[in-house]
A and B are shown apart, each in its own frame.
Chain A
Amino acid sequence: MSRSYSRGARTARILRQISAVFILAALVVAFLVPGDTANLLARAVSAWQFFPAADRAVYEVLSGFKVGGIAACISAIVILLATGLFGRWYCAALCPLGTLQDLTALIQGKGGQRYKRSFKPLRLAILLAVIVLSLLGAISIASWADPWSIFSRFFTYNLRPLIRLVHKEDLMGLSIVAMGLSGAAFMAILGASILSRRWFCGNFCPVGSVLGLLNSISFVRIRLDDRKCVSCGACASVCRAACIDVSKKRLDATRCVNCLSCLEVCPTKAFRYGGRGYRKTVSRDNTPVMNRAQFLFFFYRGAVTVSLLSILPVRAFPADRNQPYPVLPPGARSIDRFTRTCIACGLCVNRCPSKVLQPAPGLIAGKGFLVPRLDYSISYCQYDCTVCMEVCPSGALEKLNRDRKHLAKIGDASLVKTRCIVFTNGTKCGACAEHCPTGAVRMVVGETGLPEPVFTSSICIGCGACHYACPVHPLQAISVTGLSVQTIAEQPSLNLFDTTPQGNNPEGSEDAFPF
């Protein structure tokens, strides 16, 4: 190799770092700043996070490409293909949790880092558990091993409330469970990284395991030439994945994240990023995850498990009929589909402008853990808003446009007149009707001589405006519950309000003063 080689490595390393820092910075804005630009960033970056992308692609395939079409699968396919061809770039260039772990090296100081053995059974067990749980429909539980979800939840449930506290905003709907678990998972991963760099990525992360496996068989990746290596240890002290064993002159390709640090520091240029090269024998730098016999065993057993699970799926967790259904975000379609596809990363919860989206307490339908639902004690769903569907990176929320969202029925209200202020106090109210965007609740003067609420279910979309606005507490006179399957409401008729007293001003009263 010529001199220009290490310069090339440096350029590539800088490009990788720019990408990593850009993604992290974009996400910091996307998670912590309100507004449309941040939503756009959230959407653009999260679309390229592997776990939700894979979730989205699998759902798309299962639904026969009817929801988002092939476009919804592109990022998953690109990441897999690129990794198979060019190695595991994803983890050090696109994964924000990976970048944050790399930043722990700053605390750690220079040197001090050694090769750490990986515990392969753990990786395989986690990967298998994630796949099995996902197929069973408990993907929101499986996602507790996913780096994107862990990152997103930490920013949503731990950092964002802090920012809101600083701005003296009202902190409503804080879930102690969400805060505690998100914080603990995030801190544990960063802590582990201080002890052993990117411990999570090489020993736990299911995305890392898949991409690592692909890396070890990819055409182009970082390779260590054991004939050139002098075991000086320069590489190991900068390696971001603690994956170079200098005493054995080996690089664990299943954990290498292409950070390229080794290429720059190696005094003998024993590393190269490239193809298999001229040597016929398989170089010793490849430490296989398992041998061929093991691989076949796992493959067949995995295939059998997966096919069995997909034949008899998801009935494992029936919905609890005794509980009222939670109100799910628009585009969720049904409780069963939603809980099977939502990874509970909390991005929608974070971006929801009215903060009505909150993690549900307990398990929804026995399998959705901390998945978002609408909490009408906090706010209500804004009629014209489509942010949750726009930013959702998994296949959980179908992207409905504004017109379709206006008719998406996510719940249904029920009016209990015996609790209504107009009847109990004999005073005017109408808080429900004034907030209702469709006219499903409207005020009509009745026997009391006052405007009384009248409810039409067929045009109610379940947005919760009435529920939130109803001043009767703690049991509202009008309240909204969710539906097991979301439907489409009827278009409100244009003469809904013709019963209102219109006064005696005919059209075109422009000239005369009416008083």
Chain B
Amino acid sequence: MMSRREFLRKGGALGITGAVALLSKKLPQGQLWAQPSSDIVAVKGGSLSSRLDRALQELGGVGAFVQKGQTVVIKPNIGWAQEPRIAATTNPELVKRLVEQCLQAGAKRVWVFDHSCDNGPASYKASRIEAYAKEAGAVVVSGDKSSIYKSVIIPGAVKLKKTMVHELILEADVFINVPVLKEHSGAGMTSAMKNLMGIVWDRGEFHRLGLDQCIADCCMYRRPTLNLVDADRIMLTGGPRGHAGSKYDEQNMLIASTDIVAIDAVSARTLGQVPENFGYIGKGERQGLGIADLSRHAIRRIRI
């Protein structure tokens, strides 16, 4: 039998160890308050792969983001069990090229996942992202079971102060956000900020607590090392899932930035709207996530 004192001592020690372990896990590699780079690169024309190569080159090469021996997590939009031509999901060719680039830069491992809205395996398959990413050498991880999500506290969040985040977001050295830009029936638009809703287990909470605020809060947890917006074929109506009557805008564009707010502001303009139309952009800016005012950014517009 353990005496009460012994029990308390051991329990306390265990608790402290646990807390330290949790805290050390929870603080993402000091990128939380890093100043965003004001660089925005938009590349039009060419193929999806060549667009990515050029954008990365403009930002100093993939080596500026991925160091040798690091682990990388790529978060595309794999929300729906839809084929690539529907453009409800990130183009698989773009994901494939990005994986290749990361591995060429010496990444130890490249993970790809999303918490799909439709059935996970069906979405991974229909979007072709699983096949393309594996072909390039990535490890495709499922996002549809709660056991791989860890409870975290989001510092600076207004509403979504606590949530469960996919363990790879906690674990990877580099976090690359690769959304597809499209119209969204609920949030108005989905691009870089809204895409991070897919790193969280319980999305219902976003809606209950207020969608715009929670999208901004969610981006506070770990700011992506880099955001790459697939604006190749933009769904203008019937988003986010896509319908037979959906209308499209063939922009053949890729947008890259480390500033998640700025890239969403550019995305809004690309949809023919203004950033003010989407509540989460302004909220994100006020929470220090980035700068929505495009005049304060150096935008490089490149046609290839």
What residues make up the interface of A, taking CB atoms closer than 8 Å to B? 34-35, 167-170, 353-354, 379, 382-385, 421, 425, 427-431, 433-439, 442-443, 451, 469, 471-473, 492-498, 500-505, 507-510, 513-515
Contact = CB atoms under 8 A, between A and B. Distances in A.
A428 B299 contact: no
A164 B247 CA distance: 41
Contact of A428 (B81, B146, B203, B279): B279
Given A497-B247, A500-B237, 8 more contacts: A353-B121, A421-B207, A443-B186, A494-B244, A496-B243, A497-B237, A498-B245, A502-B272
Contacts of A504: 272
Interface string B188-218: 1000000000000001111110111100000
A410 B63 CA distance: 53
A421 B183 contact: no
B289 to A, nearest CB: 19
Contacts of A442: 185
B172 interface: no
A501 B207 CA distance: 22
A169 B185 CA distance: 31
A451 B185 contact: yes
A213 B237 CA distance: 65
B135 interface: no
A496 to B, nearest CB: 5
A514 B272 contact: yes
B247 A434 contact: no
B122 A353 contact: yes
B122 A384 contact: yes
A430 B185 contact: yes
B122 A421 contact: no
Given A433-B186, A492-B243, A513-B301, A382 B118 contact: yes
A428 B188 CA distance: 9
Interface string B133-160: 0000000000001111000000000000
B185 A168 contact: no
A502 B248 CA distance: 9
B187 interface: yes
A500 B182 CA distance: 12
Nearest to B125: A36
B147 A169 contact: yes
Contacts of B273: 501, 503
Interface string B228-256: 00000000111111011111011111000
B13 interface: no
Contacts of A502: 236-237, 247, 272
B301 to A, nearest CB: 5
Which 10 pairs, one residue from A and one from B, show the smallest C-beta to C-beta distance?
Answer: A503-B272, A430-B186, A515-B269, A494-B245, A168-B147, A471-B207, A471-B204, A497-B237, A433-B185, A504-B272
Contact of A505 (B45, B186, B239, B249): B249
10 contacts: A170-B145, A384-B126, A421-B207, A427-B213, A428-B188, A433-B185, A434-B185, A434-B241, A504-B272, A505-B236
Contacts of B251: 509-510, 514
B213 to A, nearest CB: 8
A170 B270 CA distance: 40
Contact of A497 (B117, B204, B207, B246): B246
Given A509-B249, A509-B251, A434 B210 contact: no
Contact of A514 (B207, B240, B269): B269
A385 B81 CA distance: 10
Interface in B257-285: 266, 269-273, 279
A383 B83 CA distance: 13
B4 to A, nearest CB: 35
Contacts of A429: 186, 207, 211
B243 A169 contact: no
Contacts of A515: 42, 266, 269-270, 294, 299
B220 to A, nearest CB: 18
B241 to A, nearest CB: 6
A427 B206 CA distance: 10
B176 to A, nearest CB: 22
A498 B237 contact: yes
A431 B249 contact: no
Contacts of A439: 238, 243, 245
Contacts of B203: 431
Nearest to B278: A428
B161 interface: no
A41 B207 CA distance: 41
Contacts of B185: 430, 433-434, 442-443, 451, 500
A7 B301 CA distance: 82
B184 interface: yes
B290 to A, nearest CB: 15
A50 to B, nearest CB: 33
Contacts of A354: 119, 122
A434 B194 CA distance: 13
Nearest to A500: B237
B252 A510 contact: yes
A391 B213 CA distance: 45
A229 B217 CA distance: 85
Contacts of B207: 421, 427, 429, 431, 471
A504 B271 CA distance: 8
Interface string B36-50: 000000101100000
A312 to B, nearest CB: 44
B240 A434 contact: yes
Contacts of B252: 510
Q: Please indicate which of the listed interface residues B238, B239, B279, B299 has the most CB atoms of chain A within 10 Å of its own CB.
A: B238
Nearest to A353: B119
Contacts of A508: 250
A8 to B, nearest CB: 48
A384 B186 CA distance: 23
Given A168-B147, A502-B237, A503-B272, A492 B245 contact: yes
B244 A492 contact: yes
A427 B146 CA distance: 27
B208 A421 contact: yes
Nearest to B207: A471
A225 B106 CA distance: 78
